[in-house]
Structure 1
Amino acid sequence: METRLDIRLEEPNPLFKRWLQRWLDEAEQRNRKSQHRLRQALQALHNYPLPLYSGRECAVLRGFGATLCQLIDDELRQHTHLAGQTTAVDSVQYQEQVQQVVKVVQKQQRQQQQHLKQQPRRKKITKKAQQEQAAVEERERAVGMPAGSYRIVLLVDTQETSGKNKRVLDQTHHYLQSLAVEHQVRRLTVGDFVWIACDAAGNELVLPYIVERKRMDDLASSIRDGRFHEQKHRLSQCGLPHIIYLIEDYGDNEQLGLPLDSLQQALVNARIQSAGIQVVRSDNHYRSMCYLSGVSGALQQLYVQANVSLHSVSDKSQLKGQAQTEASRCPSVGLLKFRALYEDSARNAQLTVREVFVQQLLQLHSLSLDRALAIVERYGTPRLLLDAYADCKDVTEASLLLATLSCGPLQRPLGDKLSQCIHQFYTSEFQ
């Protein structure tokens, strides 16, 4: 690391200063008008930190006119002739003084570096690193809520209260207030409704129930663009064992974009093929809020009135398989922190190659989550699948490579049609 030196001599121009002082004294004794200009020039020369080697160079300073500069040059020539020296003497003396200062500074720097090497180096922690460290410590901090020290609150996603159309007022908040359901509106990264247990210290634990509300027309739209399978996958990965799809009728369920039978079949498949998913139908929005109110009351009985203690768990795998009746049987129930659920379920969270591969497959028509998981279980990445295609003898064998792959709880084969579709998708060249 280079160090910039700012070297200033106490008297960079002693010769010129002495001459100016002599001329100023003579002008003051004779009361000449030039004394004011000489005094100004002397002050400017005193403040100038660098050496000057001629009267011409002094012209940059205040008070030095052409006459004064010429006088300095004449005096300088006479002085050089008498002394037998050149004006380079001042320059050499200045350079010698600079070298002496540089040597002193370099010696001090070497001593300082040796002193720093002897001490252990401490890495400076940035503000971002401090925040990340604090977040990790907060997530790892154990939380305990004794019986009677917490209350249950329903969290509502912000999209559930804003509404897609500004002209249409979403009645979610109004309905929950009229039903006396304690709730808060927050940004949720997964699901539309969750329940949390809050204590006086501000700790929040998520009860193992999550609700995804869909109107029939929204369900049809999500099936067409692939969001339905992607949402099911994210819900199943969030760690909460009890997943509820709350499906609202859309008028007479006409003009939905898909046949009603197809939508009902998709709901049946979600209930049968995906473990832990429960499908609940309601007539309208108000009935949906009544259902949520009923669930809130049931959770009050299951946890608060049953005097169940709660504690935090760091691994969401500890929640899998937790039965609904466990809360009343166990003196203490382990739950995820709300912050952990929020961060782990965020859409912008770092996904593994395996998770991205699953989401890729879910975009294909008729490819369910169980089928996608079965493919990824056999071939963990797209690269492995392409290598398997390359090892086949011909195109026919490659297109039927996945046809006999067992999928889902019933272990049904994937089928020739889907196998050919996947092969075409991953081997075709797009231009």
Structure 2
Amino acid sequence: MATDDKSDDKKSLILKWLTQWRDQSRQHGSKLEYVYGKALKTLREHPHPISSCDDCKKLKNFGPKICEKINKEFTKLNNTGDDRLLSKTAVSSQQYSPKRTLTDILPVAVRPKRPLICTPKQSANIFAKNSPPVKITKTATQRNVKNWVPTPGQTPFAILVALLRRHLEFDDSRVNKLDLQDMAELYTTTRPLILTAALNSLIHRRQLVDKTSDRNARYFLTDSGRKLAIQLAKQCPMLKDFVARFLNDKNNLITNYFETRDCTESIQTPCQNFILEAGTYDIVLCIDTRERYSDRNGTQNRTAFPVALQQKGILIEIRTLPLGDFVWIAREKIQTSTDSNNQTIVQQQQQQKKVRRELVLDYIIERKRIDDLASSIKGHRWNEQKFRLRNSGIRNPMYLIEYFGKKSRKQDHGYLSAATLEQAISNCEIDGFEIKLTDSFDETVRYLANMSRSLQCYYQNKSLLSCQDKKQLGRTCAKDFVYMTFNEFVTNSSKITIFTAKEMFIKHLLQIRGLSMKKVETLIKKFPTIRSLFQAYSMLKHDDDSKRENLLTNLKCDSLSGTQDRRLGPVLSKKINYFYN
């Protein structure tokens, strides 16, 4: 019995810790809230006692990170040698989950009365009345947090200085993680730079940095973090020019700046946009790191595209792209002066401290070999890939379909007929994508090279303006020359692992044969979630199946001309009704 009680104590302790971690994650808008929530549900439904952390590893939704945190908490308890927490947990477990005995089976009138036990709130009130007032003193950890100063060259130092510089020099108070990493790498000796652990410490423990609660969180300095960052910047030799311009105590610029910013700035204030003047940037073709050339025999070559394009004089860069295989960016030039050797060295050092600004242009290409296209269609990934490209924020998404010679256009691929593949390509063009068909790797390279040269000529005398998100971009047109930054493109286009109700509904609908992206978008405007669709069905009589089947028949969809003059139709309406009922 003693062993069972001890196991129950450990189980209730783990439940308590998981609840605390889940609530903390919810307050900070972290996705870990769902991870801890799943672990809590599993542990509550687990009927057997938990005697150690090893028992948790056998349970579903308990990964190595959660088990490691639980093990650390148990280690802290063992090191302190204090069993009071265990005893408190035992009392609470008896109060809220008493074990059944034989007397519980008896009728209510025959059962012996149990002594009443005070709830934790009542016992706390009784204890407060009978005990003398206690003077609260700050612990050593609280004092250390207040007087803590990061070491120069370490990651916390780099984060604070980078956030301050982004705020003052770029007028960018709220920074996404990728922009923050680019700037912080200039002030740290740690390689590779890992921001996550340092950011969590600065947010939760030090309270020097905070972040927004949306999915793509942005980070910013708190009042105490701002004061500490100013002190660190004044002590950093690399930031002498920055301090002279923005932290001049004589003119009191920094105080006036923050006072005016605090009066006008709100949490949703967008970051300050910038302009790339004509002639101050290069057009660069970015190639995805996973893009490679492979023939029908299966031999693969990772360097085929970079080598072939460089031989044609195209400026390229290999990066990990969240979407597409090729994308063109406008990258700010590094301007150096060659008046004297000393001047050049100084300017090079200053340019190393400067973060290059980059804008993603209006063209992104997804390259599909014809056999890859067939496998995507068979694996039901084709519609989802098109949907992600359409919603990337880039105005001209393109599909480059590569055949194995002209004869292969009339052949079957991946157990799909040539007619089926042609129909899929035509439907893709109807959905708003530009299609380019090539017959070989060499023809693909020539097309990419010609496209790069055309863009260089087109943007030769154009000035470009940045914007920070897809919503701003959606309110502009191509003639405005407004583009997203590269880091915003990566943040917004990365694959989502935890979906909202609307996003999951879209994924469901795309699996229904016959529903194109435009039809799904129209349906989502009318019924944004599955629940709203269920409510519409529930308003109809259950006996009248014909009304339920034809509920969506007259829903207007976009036609080829762009006008909403086409109906969803009775066939698709019946399919959706069958799918969700």
- Cα distance between partner residues in 2 of 1:245 and 1:283: 14
Letter matched to residue 230 of structure 1: E
> When the two structures are superposed, what TM-score results if normalisation uses the length of structure 1?
0.63
Relative to 1, partners in 2 of residues 1:408 and 1:266: Cα closer, same or farther, differing over 3 Å? farther
Deviation at 1:223, TM superposition (A): 2.1
Question: What corresponds to 2:491 in structure 1?
Answer: 343
- Cα distance between partner residues in 2 of 1:421 and 1:344: 32
From 400, 405, 418, the counterpart of 2:555: 405
1:241–1:322 contact (8 Å) kept in structure 2 = no
User: Residue 419 of structure 2 aligns to a residue in which SS?
Assistant: helix
- Cα distance between partner residues in 2 of 1:354 and 1:266: 26
2:388–2:493 contact (8 Å) kept in structure 1 = yes
Letter matched to residue 494 of structure 2: A
- Cα distance between partner residues in 2 of 1:141 and 1:166: 48
Deviation at 1:144, TM superposition (A): 2.7
Letter matched to residue 196 of structure 1: I
Question: What corresponds to 1:180 in structure 2?
Answer: 313
- Cα distance between partner residues in 2 of 1:225 and 1:403: 28
Deviation at 1:250, TM superposition (A): 3.6
After superposition, residues 17-56 of structure 1 pair within 5 angstroms as: none
- 1:224 corresponds to 2:378: yes
2:289–2:321 contact (8 Å) kept in structure 1 = yes
Relative to 1, partners in 2 of residues 1:111 and 1:227: Cα closer, same or farther, differing over 3 Å? closer
Deviation at 1:168, TM superposition (A): 2.3
- Which is greater in Rg? 1
After superposition, residues 267-346 of structure 1 pair within 5 angstroms as: 267-274=425-432, 277-304=433-460, 307-320=461-474, 326=479, 333-346=481-494
After superposition, residues 6-405 of structure 1 pair within 5 angstroms as: 110=135, 112=137, 127-128=199-200, 129=203, 130=209, 136=219, 140-161=271-292, 167-170=299-302, 171-199=304-332, 200=334, 201-251=355-405, 252-253=408-409, 254-256=411-413, 257-274=415-432, 277-304=433-460, 307-320=461-474, 326=479, 333-348=481-496, 351-393=499-541, 394-405=544-555
Relative to 1, partners in 2 of residues 1:258 and 1:412: Cα closer, same or farther, differing over 3 Å? farther
What are the superposed Cα offsets for residues 8-37 of structure 1, whole Å, 9 maximum, x if unpaired?
xxxxxxxxxxxxxxxxxxxxxxxxxxxxxx
What are the superposed Cα offsets for residues 17-66 of structure 1, whole Å, 9 maximum, x if unpaired?
xxxxxxxxxxxxxxxxxxxxxxxxxxxxxxxxxxxxxxxxxxxxxxxxxx
User: Residue 419 of structure 1 aligns to a residue in which SS?
Assistant: helix
> When the two structures are superposed, what TM-score results if normalisation uses the length of structure 2?
0.48
- Cα distance between partner residues in 1 of 2:552 and 2:441: 43
2:285–2:452 contact (8 Å) kept in structure 1 = yes
User: Residue 140 of structure 1 aligns to a residue in which SS?
Assistant: coil
- Cα distance between partner residues in 2 of 1:141 and 1:398: 50
Deviation at 1:405, TM superposition (A): 2.0
Aligned residues: 308
User: Residue 135 of structure 2 aligns to a residue in which SS?
Assistant: helix
Deviation at 1:244, TM superposition (A): 1.2
Question: What corresponds to 1:75 in structure 2?
Answer: none
Relative to 1, partners in 2 of residues 1:218 and 1:349: Cα closer, same or farther, differing over 3 Å? same
Relative to 1, partners in 2 of residues 1:296 and 1:412: Cα closer, same or farther, differing over 3 Å? same
- Cα distance between partner residues in 2 of 1:111 and 1:362: 59
Deviation at 1:255, TM superposition (A): 2.8
- Cα distance between partner residues in 2 of 1:361 and 1:382: 10
- Cα distance between partner residues in 2 of 1:211 and 1:219: 14
- Cα distance between partner residues in 2 of 1:408 and 1:284: 35
User: Residue 301 of structure 2 aligns to a residue in which SS?
Assistant: coil
2:210–2:220 contact (8 Å) kept in structure 1 = no
Deviation at 1:142, TM superposition (A): 3.1
Flag structure 1 segments of 5+ consecutive residues without an equivalent.
1-105, 114-120
2:557–2:567 contact (8 Å) kept in structure 1 = yes
Question: What corresponds to 1:98 in structure 2?
Answer: none
Indicate the percent of aligned positions where both proteins have the same amino acid: 34
Deviation at 1:197, TM superposition (A): 1.2
Deviation at 1:123, TM superposition (A): 13
Deviation at 1:352, TM superposition (A): 3.5
Letter matched to residue 261 of structure 1: A
Deviation at 1:271, TM superposition (A): 2.0
| Two-structure CA RMSD over aligned residues (Å) | 3.5
2:293–2:305 contact (8 Å) kept in structure 1 = no
- Cα distance between partner residues in 2 of 1:159 and 1:210: 16
Deviation at 1:166, TM superposition (A): 7.4
- Cα distance between partner residues in 2 of 1:142 and 1:218: 40
What are the superposed Cα offsets for residues 64-118 of structure 1, whole Å, 9 maximum, x if unpaired?
xxxxxxxxxxxxxxxxxxxxxxxxxxxxxxxxxxxxxxxxxx99x83746xxxxx
Deviation at 1:162, TM superposition (A): 7.7
- Cα distance between partner residues in 2 of 1:322 and 1:161: 35
Deviation at 1:239, TM superposition (A): 0.9
